[in-house]
Structure 1
Amino acid sequence: MTFEEFVDARLQALLRYAVMLTGDPHTAQDLVQETMIRVQLKWRRVAASNAPERYVKRMITNAYVDLHRGSWLRRVVLGGFAPPAREVEPDHAEHAVERDQMWIWLGRLPRRQRAALVLRYYEGLTDNEIAEVLDCAVGTVRSSISRALATLRVEVVPALSGGDER
């Protein structure tokens, strides 16, 4: 498979994955674009791996986790956190509010915890696969997911029961 064939076949899926990680379609596009430049430069190594898509997802995940370590020029924020732009049907306003609130809750999680949740519940990966993508131990994956879910429970349960919303 050539780099061009890989991009044609998997770019949209990689972009959806990045949107789930970042919560912002523009940041996701930048993340995928920068990663794909690196992938093209290392294509022989990526193509030689057993699972090129998993290799690229690992690169995207690492770039996402390392976003805050970049140059101060790349950290200029022009607006607040916004959920990905999607068409919201007027009859489904309540669903849109719930979805937006979930984006806010996910946005409060540390990057590694959010990445672990996205890999588990959006990508459907096992603990071993997540550990491979995040380059950490399986126990670290389990504790990251556990901590993230515990944090979300603290946020979500009071909100759903009509308690204090944060």
Structure 2
Amino acid sequence: MGIDDEAEFSSFVQGRWNGLVRTAYLLTGNRHDAEDLAQTALTKVYASWRRVRRSDHPDAYLRRVLVTCNIDRFRKRRPHEHPTDELPEPYGPRQGDASHQVDQRQVLLAALAGLPPRQRAVVVLRYWEDLSAEQTAAALGCSVGTVKSQAAKGLAKLRAFPGLHPLTPAAPLEACHDQA
């Protein structure tokens, strides 16, 4: 890769790093995994940079690589779950407590972590990244119908998540968006 390509890629990364890590965090639920995932995605994009930069939508390509790398993580190893006899203390907004938005965010992240990777990717791209169904389908390499069905299933699971029901259907993502 030439010096101009290196500079262009470096500029591309600098302009997208924070948003990329934020999206990766929503997909992984862990800051360290998110940074690793973002770096892995950027490594793959770097390898194809000449072709990617000529495409009409390098951001969509990067998001698709990010989601694919996240799905690959699950293929290689399953996250470790630790079943217990006791349920964790339920989250809920406390009257007069300014930290209730942090609590809401934690509940949302726990709910997102409970979704299968494909549903989580659709919900994050559609409702957090505010992509259209068509843009989400392009990023995931699937049909618009698949995006719609995965979004419906994912939202149904989020609505059924115990800690989210005090929140309105649109509030979880909007209330926590600025904090990611």
Provide the TM-score with structure 2 as the length reference.
0.74
What corresponds to 1:103 in structure 2? 109
Runs of 4 or more above 4 Å deviation: 156-159
User: Which one of 22, 32, 37 corresponds to residue 31 of structure 1?
Assistant: 37
> Which residue of structure 1 lines up, in the alignment, with residue 55 of structure 2?
49
**Structure 1 residue 151 and structure 2 residue 157: aligned?**
yes
CA RMSD of aligned residues (A): 2.6
CA distance in 2, matches of 1:121, 1:28: 19
Alignment-derived partner of residue 145 in structure 2? 139
CA distance in 1 between counterparts of 2:164 and 2:27 reads 25
Q: What TM-score do the two structures reach when normalised by structure 1?
A: 0.79
Q: How many residues align?
A: 149
SS of residue paired to 2:60? helix
1:95 deviates by 2.1
Pair 1:93-2:99 in alignment: yes
2:9 is aligned to: 3
Q: Distance in 2 between matches of 1:156 and 1:26?
A: 27
Q: Pick the aligned partner of 1:60 from 57, 66, 72.
A: 66
Q: For structure 2, which runs of at least 5 residues remain unmatched after alignment?
A: 83-95, 168-180
CA contact (8 A) 2:107 2:164 kept: no
Is 2:133–2:147's contact at 8 Å kept on the other side of the alignment?
Answer: yes
Q: CA deviation at 1:32?
A: 0.7
Cα offsets for 1:77-124 (capped at 9, x unmatched): 6x9xxxxxxxxxx94222222221111111111111011011111111
CA shift at 1:160, angstroms? Answer: 3.0
Q: How do 1:9-20 residues align onto structure 2 when only pairs under 5 Å count?
A: 9-20=15-26
Alpha-carbon distance, 1:51 to partner? 1.2
